[in-house]
Structure 1
Amino acid sequence: MATIQKAKMQDMDAILGIWLNASLQAHDFIPAAYWEKQLIPMRDLYLPLAENFVIKENQTVLGFASLLRSEAVLAALFIAPHQQGSGYGKCLIDFLKQQCDELHLNVYAENTAAVNFYRQQGFKIISQALDKNTGHAELSMTWSKP
């Protein structure tokens, strides 16, 4: 049985490993070097700004979600590549939906698996823009409690 809890310092290496591996797989349209360069800012800047939750089974981190609660922004949702499709992402989304009346996120348009996943979770596309860092189209999606 998977459990969701606030991430602890000892989860950080697993979180960063999942983030990098899943980013490389999901965003193969962006050079790998870009993601590798983002690892330190992810650790030192982005993760500390967010409330981070991990989903674990047998003490193993299988995925995580990062929430900027004040803006209701789902800043990150990543599942270990070999665990994708097992329902862990949906568990994390459902967990966050219980705490928030709305959620907003950005996702690369080319990451069709993620776009479809978020649509299945009730998110709607509200706008599209170019990500200034990569030059790739990014969709803004939102969900609100019925």
Structure 2
Amino acid sequence: MIRQATPDDTDAILDVWLLASLQAHDFVPAAFWWQQQEQMRARYLPAAEVWVCEREGEIQGFIALVDDYLAALFVRPDCQQNGIGKALLAMAKRLRQRLSLKVFSENDIAVHFYRQHGFAITDEGTDPATGQPELCMGYQGEGKQKIFKLSGA
């Protein structure tokens, strides 16, 4: 079941985030992720709209949205490959007409996942906190048409 997160979910969300971050980002020193936990708890999660995937009373994944920015999508490593990330991303797409995100370039699995679900690379940069190269990606929902100004009409 996907539902909006409550303050009581914070510890479980942080556990998912830390476990998944350590696994997916092994090119970043583990100490970095451990040091970021309090910032996540005090600053990032309260600023976001957070949705969790709960199965059998256990939070297995979550998304965090800040306006049209997909700030986080994480699934516990032992729960991956079960459609949780896909379901969470589908929820984000239902909530927003367009989405943008940043992902580490070396996180091939995540880059492939987002491309598979309609995201395109829009820019490249460097994450200021880690110094790692990152990709900016964007999604525009189907049926959403761009409006072009006709010149000379």
Aligned to 1:51: 49
Alpha-carbon distance between aligned partners in 1 of 2:48 and 2:60, rounded to the nearest angstrom? 19
4+ residue segments displaced more than 6 Å: none
Per the TM alignment, residue 96 of structure 1 is displaced from its structure 2 partner at its CA by: 1.2
Alpha-carbon distance between aligned partners in 2 of 1:30 and 1:96, rounded to the nearest angstrom? 27
Correspondences of 1:82-97 after superposition (within 5 Å): 82-97=78-93
Correspondences of 1:1-146 after superposition (within 5 Å): 3-69=1-67, 72-146=68-142
Amino acid across the alignment from 1:145: G
SS of the residue 2:110 aligns to: helix
Q: Give the alignment's TM-score, normalised by structure 2.
A: 0.91
Q: How many residues are aligned here?
A: 142
Q: Give the alignment's TM-score, normalised by structure 1.
A: 0.95
Alpha-carbon distance between aligned partners in 2 of 1:119 and 1:85, rounded to the nearest angstrom? 16
Runs of 5+ in structure 1 lacking a partner? none
Runs of 5+ in structure 2 lacking a partner? 143-153
Instruction: Say which one has the larger Rg.
Output: 2
